[in-house]
Structure 1
């Protein structure tokens, strides 16, 4: 049996693989080397992404022009919702990447966030009983490695679109001659623009991580300090409220991605 401190520590520890030794790390291991993979976060993020692709692909092959079924309605509502937001923000309608990118980000992040509503002790108990794995986390968006992978992926797209639409030289000029168009302020301009550019993926990732980590922590605290037969008094209201947070964080991540890329293609 765990005391509350051990219980909380147990649920905040990932199932890790040390690439140097190819050995899985125990729950008490304090090593935070760069060459360590959080296997549970990687598995669940890829697994949820695969579910998204299979589900949407299978529905697309069975589209009906008549009265749609429930599953087709879910897909159509999701696509229409994302497509409307892209049309309202992104100025270049001929670009065929932005809408699929926004849909992928929205659904994928939503599914990763949705794992936070999964019973907190069920899967760790199952993994320990079946595979003798004592520590596992099932919410990929509470792992900084996952959220920063997504946000820096968006960051590279921002750089790509800046260079693609403005040209490399014009992109460099925008760093040195904005907001003050004078050679005397070039260093100051570069400091402001570079800081602003780098802050986009950092704020994008930390916003998602902070909200989801806080939500997960509250579930853990409820489970750690209350008896099982009374946990539902706090867990159920928080779960209902957390549904809004789950949707909202996926929506914000998608919208900021569209806004950042839209600002990258604008020619000054």
Structure 2
């Protein structure tokens, strides 16, 4: 029993390790070795994020070509109709939140929703499949294929949203009014400027932090459950729990992608509103 417990523990820890690259030594960190240096990047998260982003672009580029062909009286297919439903759904939601015209907000919302959803859905791939393939082909056994279960990935996306919050705030209000909100709100007196700065800066910084932690926590916990099912339950019985959890995970993946998209647009809209 103790041996089985140790094997399960090692199995779980193994699947929680990233394929890491040390920028100081330009070497891949060996499996089982821990390194908390700042100059460590998770190659697997970067690789799968780029692949899924490229996949997203290819799919919607194909959709664009097919839409162009409609003008030549070609009937749209199921794939194109699905893409159009997604686009219309996102456009309808952001139009109510961000009424100001912008060439960036709609494409940004679509990219956030589809990209994060694809990253979340990587958890549906059997957890031993990709590590098995990479181990046979490249002798790499430590690899995680769910980018959104990596805090570095979710924080990186949130930082981009944070930059856009500041950019649109300054663009729509001008720099003077943007700074004025941080110094004279909620207490409109120069004596309270230090207190206002603490409150407003804390509120501003908490937005990307909450975005990243919410997405990371939900997807990471879902991945842990898949690993536990694989580690502790015999393979012949795993489908009993895997199937219903996979269905629930698809719903969670959609919901988390939608929440991240909507909150991003809400935060940008709130900062961009001109209250003067």
Query: TM-score, structure 2 length as denominator?
Result: 0.94
Which one of 237, 253, 262 corresponds to residue 255 of structure 1?
Answer: 262
3-state DSSP of counterpart to 1:96: coil
Task: Please report how far the alpha carbon of residue 67 of structure 1 lies from its aligned counterpart in structure 2 after TM superposition.
Answer: 4.0
How far apart, in 1, do the equivalents of 2:80 and 2:192 lie?
55
In structure 1, the residue corresponding to 2:142 is in which secondary structure? coil
1:157 equivalent in structure 2: 164
SS in 2 for 1:230: helix
Q: Distance in 2 between matches of 1:83 and 1:120?
A: 35
- Residue of structure 1 equivalent to 2:63: 59
Deviates more, 1:195-204 or 1:18-27: 18-27
1:224 and 2:234 are equivalent in the alignment: no
**1:215 is matched with which residue: 213, 222, 242?**
222
**Is 1:77 aligned to 2:77, yes or no?**
no
Q: Where does 1:133-212 land on structure 2 (aligned, <5 Å)?
A: 133-212=140-219
Q: How does 1:101-116 map to 2 (within 5 A)?
A: 101-116=108-123
Question: Equivalent residue for 1:21?
Answer: 25
Q: CA RMSD in A?
A: 1.2
1:16-75 residue CA offsets vs partner (Å, 9 max, x unmatched)? 111111111111111121111100000000000000001101210121266421110111
In structure 2, distance between residues paired with 1:90 and 1:71:
28
- Which residue among 43, 47, 50 is the counterpart of 1:43? 47
Given candidates 246, 250, 253, the residue that maps to 1:243 is: 250
Report Cα offsets for 1:4-23 as digits up to 9, x if no partner. Answer: 11001100000111111111
Count of residue pairs the alignment pairs up: 267
The C-alpha deviation readout for 1:101-130, integer Å capped at 9, x for no partner, is: 000000000000010111111111111111
In the alignment, structure 1 residue 91 sits paired with structure 2 residue 125: no
Once residues 269 and 77 of structure 2 are traced to their aligned partners in structure 1, the CA distance between those partners, rounded to angstroms, is: 35
Q: Distance in 2 between matches of 1:75 and 1:106?
A: 12
Distance 1:90 1:180 in 2: 27
Could you tell me which of 258, 267, 272 is aligned with 1:265?
A: 272
Give the whole-Å Cα distance in 1 for the aligned partners of 2:103 and 2:94: 11
The answer as to 2:43 corresponding to 1:33 is no
Give the TM-score of the pair, scaled to structure 1. 0.97
Gaps of 5+ in 1: none
Give CA deviations for 1:201-258 in whole Å, capped at 9, x if unaligned: 0000000000000000000011111111111111111111111100000000000011
Taking the aligned partners of 2:248 and 2:261, their CA distance within structure 1 comes to 21
Structure 2 segments unaligned to the other structure (5+ residues): none
